[in-house]
Chain A
Amino acid sequence: MEEPMRFNAQQWKQLLQWQLDGKSYQELISPEIEGIQIKPFYDAEDLPKTVPDLEHPKKVYLQERIRSKDDQQGWISAQEALAKGADNLRITWLGSSTDALALMNKLGAFPVVQHWVFYSVTEEFIDQFSRLSPAVKDTVRIEWDPLAMLAITGNWVTTQQNDLAHWRQMHSLLALDHLCIDVSRYQESGGSIIQQLAYTMAQLEVYFNLLPEPLKSSDQVISQVHVYTVNSGDYFMEMAKIKALRWLVVSMGSWYGLSLTCHVTVRPSRRNKTAYHTTQNTLKSAAELLSGLMGGASALAPLAHNELIQSGDVQAQQEAFHQLAILVHETGLVGQDLGAGSYYVAYLTDQWAQKALALNQSIRNSGGWIKAMNQGIIQQKIEQHHEKTLKAYQALERKQPSDKDLDTTHWTKSPFSRFVPKKTSIALLPVRRLSEADERKWYRL
């Protein structure tokens, strides 16, 4: 093969300039998005000094989400999920944690990861969980994340002191090898990628500082961190976000003497989804989940195209689940890190990690995550970023859908956030959808 022509960045830039015929190279640089500007091209000169040594998971789970408060209902939902082919269940338990144990035990007989999300964890649960067989316990992940609940509801489960003490006690008594957190609300409330990453780190640091000492110095207290998050918008930026997240968590672990694996579950964000033209939501979700997969997600979680306006639409939920299955089983991308070595992806990942570290440092210097939330700083920063992106969104041309497309007769729930007057100890982080203001106007609601 004839020797190809090779150019450095400066030469490419000059060639571009020449081709643009009077236009400036600067005009090809994007306006600021998520705090950075994107150049027209990236090459080996843009590679960062350090890149993460993280392999993509060899298996990616298909997660089904269940909400239940009793064993019977939960079992029915779980069976439906298993029949679909789910191998990972995110069970949000609305009842007493003690009542979950029977279902937990039943599910332990199936080849499925049970990821339990509790609003509270009783002492009885802690006591009885310990008595489950190792085989069952191996399949269980416990997510009791009072910090996430504080962000979402504005309140501690009980009090700050009690919740943190209880969390520490739970981890100690259950001897959990994992730590699970939910950071989805940062994005869905309008946070930038850097904010999402920095606040995730800060949230994790609270827990890391609470972790009990291991029984033996050679033991590790935890070996896994499970992060539940959402993807949206810009394909490569979101891909790099997941890469950066995994990189940051593993690095953080090393600061605490922990050798961690970071497992990320990605769900499509609700922030950019609409109540009308819901088929469009399917397209967006496909790209968002794919970017998560390419970023190294360990599990994908579904979002039905009409979830904002309909509950329990079995067909839509099946389609949403099929979407995960297609991405995992038809693309051939599981275990394949297409982003590794890519100049642009490496650049973005490094940018996110650096900037998140810097922001996280400033949170730490100001007293940490809890203090920042108590003072409303995190909420304020997220809201500011939301306003900025909302302004950009509203500057785009948005056509009002036809009357047929604005039909609400099939709605079983409202897509609009409701203000529920309730005393909260801090300002909470609501879900802020970009199209909500338009929809309120168009639907006249």
Chain B
Amino acid sequence: MVPPVKRKGTHDELQGSAFVEQASWHQGMIAGKSPFLRGPYLSMYVHKPWTIRQYAGFSTAAQSNEFYKKNLAAGQTGLSIAFDLPTHRGYDSAADEAVADVGKAGVAIDTLDDMCALFEGIDMSKVSVSMTMNGAVLPIMAFYIAAAQRQGVEQHQLRGTIQNDILKEFMVRNTYIYPPEASMEVVAQVMEYCTHKMPLFNSISISGYHLQEAGASTAQELAYTLADGWAYVRAAQEKGLSVDDIGPRLSFFWGISMRCVDELAKLRAARVLWCRIMKLMGAKNEKSWALKTHAQTSGWSLTAQWPKNNLTRTAVEAISAVLGGTQSLHTNSFDEALALPTDDSARWARNTQIYLQGEAGLTRPIDPLGGSYLLEERTLSLIDEAWEIITEIEQLGGMTQYVLAGTPKKSILKAAAKTQAQIDAGTYPIVGVNAFIAHELEKPHLRYIHLDEVLENQCNRLIEHKLKRDTALCAQSLTALKKAALDKKTNLLEASVVAAHHGATLGEISEVLVQVFGRYQPEPTGVTGVYQAELKTQASFIRSVSTGESWAKKNGRKPKILLAKMGQDGHDRGLYAVAAALSDQGFDVKMTPLFQTPEQVGYMVQNWGADLVSISSMTNGHGALVPSLCQWLKKLGLGHVKVILGGIIPENDIDSMKAHGVDLIFGPGTDLTSAAQDIYQLLNEDIKND
């Protein structure tokens, strides 16, 4: 072998080239200075790491309280409260509409006493609290303030955030109560109140997370969220607040998916764009220009199959969130797709962040990927893409009008349907679901909570509460609240705090406002053709279409399937994906509006003449609602109608659902071409082979 040239062992012998600055648009930008590309704060995590803020809440206030105290003792540094769906939608636990959902997707809060129990033994002056609440923001904020006052903590000491982002509710999340214009008025009044009386409290957390969960693309999530923010600032200005009054207290909330490069770029692009928007709105205070954010790892990316794979997904997403510069972070438990987290799974979720802050060394330096060609290029392209959408929205009159027109919802649904089609086509791989499929030998231990007791408990507490309060004072305060809603002379939150102290329940406060504003109930919308575009050459899709044609020929029409959402569960991404897929595979699809009762669905089946009814259940409401629907179908002489149940259905519940009359059950990750074929077989149609 020819011996090497005598080496000096110096750096100059390394093969490479001189560094070439490929793009200079970002050069010289630093963290903490406009446009905040590299972070909203000068020193970022080097001085203070991001806050570990795990979103949690379930069943009763007392049980959630125990959970919070345990987490705080284990190193969590802020609280993030999840409320149950009746609470979100302004119903007390005893309401008929609430029965199926009490304590399931979060903690049930009906009264000020419940809120006090939630914070029992937790010093509200010391712990920063984030509350995910939008529709029922008034009673919840009122209870929070009043609970603090009972602890001797003044509201100007309170630190935290209230989500209060109603526009995204109309787009995707669906926990609105009042119509859009009235809801925006509520948002503005909450911002007004907090600005004057709660200087350490963020009065809004403008959220992209839910848009992403609903299927929005990165550019959509970015553009719609920032446009929402623009609308809220405008609403605050209409209340006489200056942009610099409100600016420093606005915060954002992003979802973090497995699309690593996009997520990193999104958080950077968001800061640059928000800075631009705030300057356009006249903000002079640097603190108004800087976008601060919470982030959460994607729930949608988690799978029910091989759930421990989700540990890896959450770790990857957490790394993206941190490298993107989030101020606080929630990491999902691996079993989040299946049930409420166990103590162990919650611990591992929290430990993911502790590990990243410690051993993985992700708190230093500031913005470690700064300068990356790929990242800076993607950031710039996202800025341009999102700005184009935002400009269009502004030209059409702003986000409130855009949302009212239904445009963002339709765009998101289309993107979601396309993703679902790509999953079913196998071009969007998900390990354990449509790629690298393997038989699971053992399933993890899941947490099952007997929530019927929660309902009983809450109902009893409500009865006791109503007995012990001063009825007259309570009624007076509710009258005053109604007056405030009508004449707009008193701030609604101020009036709600008074009502809270006088024992008004969450349902009563909300109902008073429903009497003034009305309760919003939109009609469903849908997309077609998107599924077909992705799968038209796939054998399984062709089979379904062919089978559908055969059925239609025999019966003179397409098979009718009614897709229903019952209870307070507003998750509809899956439902729309199913609608899109089944429409393109030969079914005549109709969707019920959200929040139906079993009785209402039964009558819809009857009136339309549906052959099948399919219920979507994502928040464990099926236990009460599905048997009730089956009974209604029998009562109406519709025993021949096939019943399908889809969503997050624990294995323990499958037999009982079938015993009640469910014919087919589909879990998360179901291939929708196989599902279509199963449904045709249910209708006694042989699947056509080529």
Contacts and interface: CB of A to CB of B under 8 A. Distances in A.
Given A49-B19, A250-B15, A256-B4, A40 B366 contact: yes
Interface stretch (A89-97, A188-196, A281-289, A408-416): A281-289
Contact of A357 (B13, B19, B46, B436): B13
A325 B316 CA distance: 13
Contact of A28 (B12, B47, B436, B438): B47
A272 to B, nearest CB: 7
A353 interface: yes
Contact of B359 (A5, A233, A331, A341): A233
B374 A51 contact: no
Given A4-B29, A15-B32, A358-B9, A33 B311 contact: no
Contacts of A315: 440-442
A28 B309 contact: no
B29 A6 contact: yes
Contacts of A329: 429, 431, 435-436
A326 B359 contact: no
Contact of B34 (A5, A30, A332): A5
Given A338-B261, A343-B371, A251 B1 contact: no
A326 B15 contact: no
Given A6-B28, A41-B366, A236-B361, A322 B374 contact: no
A327 interface: yes
Given A28-B46, A52-B14, A315-B440, A336 B365 contact: no
Contact of A360 (B9, B262, B306, B355): B9
Nearest to A256: B4
A339 B14 CA distance: 18
Interface residues of A, number: 95
Q: Residue among A2, A40, A49, A314 with the most chain B CB within 10 A? A: A40
B291 to A, nearest CB: 14
Contact of B2 (A210, A256, A284, A344): A256
B362 interface: yes
A173 interface: no
Interface string B274-289: 0010010000000000
A19 B41 CA distance: 10
Contact of B313 (A4, A53, A321, A330): A330
Interface in B303-338: 306, 308-309, 311-313, 315-316, 319
Interface string B343-371: 01000100110011001111011111111
Interface in A160-190: none
Contacts of A336: 261, 374
Contact of B11 (A209, A255, A280, A357): A357
B30 interface: yes
Nearest to A40: B46
Contacts of A233: 359-361
B43 interface: yes
Interface string A332-353: 1100111111111110001001
Given A7-B33, A235-B360, A323-B312, A41 B369 contact: no
B70 interface: no
B18 interface: yes
Contacts of B438: 83-84, 318, 322
A328 B376 CA distance: 22
A174 B364 CA distance: 48
B373 A340 contact: yes
A319 B8 CA distance: 47
Contacts of B312: 282, 286, 322-323, 326-327
A266 interface: no
Contact of A4 (B35, B429, B436): B35
B361 A322 contact: no
A30 B364 contact: yes
Interface string B450-463: 00000000000000
B62 interface: no
B16 interface: yes
B638 interface: no
A317 to B, nearest CB: 10
Nearest to B23: A341
A255 B19 CA distance: 22
Label chain B's interface by main secondary structure: loop
Given A44-B371, A283-B355, A315-B440, A322 B11 contact: no
A16 B441 contact: no
Given A290-B316, A338-B372, A343-B371, A53 B361 contact: no
Contacts of A47: 19, 371
B316 to A, nearest CB: 6
Contacts, number: 275
Interface string A14-43: 011001100000001010010000111111
Contacts of A323: 309, 312
A361 interface: yes
Interface string A144-157: 00000000000000
B14 A279 contact: no
A326 B33 contact: no
A212 B3 CA distance: 11
B684 interface: no
B1 A213 contact: yes
B22 interface: yes
Contacts of A83: 438
B432 interface: yes
A43 B370 contact: yes
Interface string A187-224: 00000000000000000000011111100000001000
B395 interface: no
A283 B16 contact: no
A51 B29 contact: no
A60 interface: no
Contacts of A2: 276, 279
B258 A331 contact: yes
Contacts of B16: 50-53, 247, 251
Interface string B511-542: 00000000000000000000000000000000
B311 A283 contact: yes
B368 A326 contact: no
A53 B352 contact: no
Nearest to A363: B9
Given A286-B316, A287-B355, A279 B27 contact: no
B49 to A, nearest CB: 13
A50 B46 CA distance: 28
A261 interface: no
Interface string A279-305: 110111011001000000000000000
A410 to B, nearest CB: 12
B309 A322 contact: yes
Contacts of B313: 326, 330
A33 B301 CA distance: 35
A336 B375 CA distance: 10
11 contacts: A16-B43, A28-B46, A41-B365, A42-B370, A43-B370, A251-B13, A279-B344, A321-B436, A322-B312, A329-B436, A331-B259
Given A331-B259, A331-B260, 18 more contacts: A7-B30, A15-B30, A40-B43, A41-B31, A41-B367, A47-B371, A49-B19, A210-B1, A233-B361, A247-B16, A251-B14, A255-B4, A283-B355, A284-B355, A322-B312, A336-B261, A361-B7, A361-B8
Interface of A: 1-2, 4-8, 12, 15-16, 19-20, 28, 30, 33, 38-44, 47-53, 83-85, 208-213, 221, 233-237, 247-248, 250-251, 254-257, 272, 279-280, 282-284, 286-287, 290, 314-315, 318-319, 321-323, 325-327, 329-333, 336-346, 350, 353-354, 357-358, 360-361, 364
Interface of B: 1-5, 7-19, 21-22, 27-35, 37, 42-43, 46-47, 258-262, 264, 276, 279, 301, 306, 308-309, 311-313, 315-316, 319, 344, 348, 351-352, 355-356, 359-362, 364-376, 429-432, 435-436, 438, 440-442
Nearest 5 Cβ contacts at the A-B interface: A6-B28, A361-B9, A341-B373, A286-B315, A234-B361
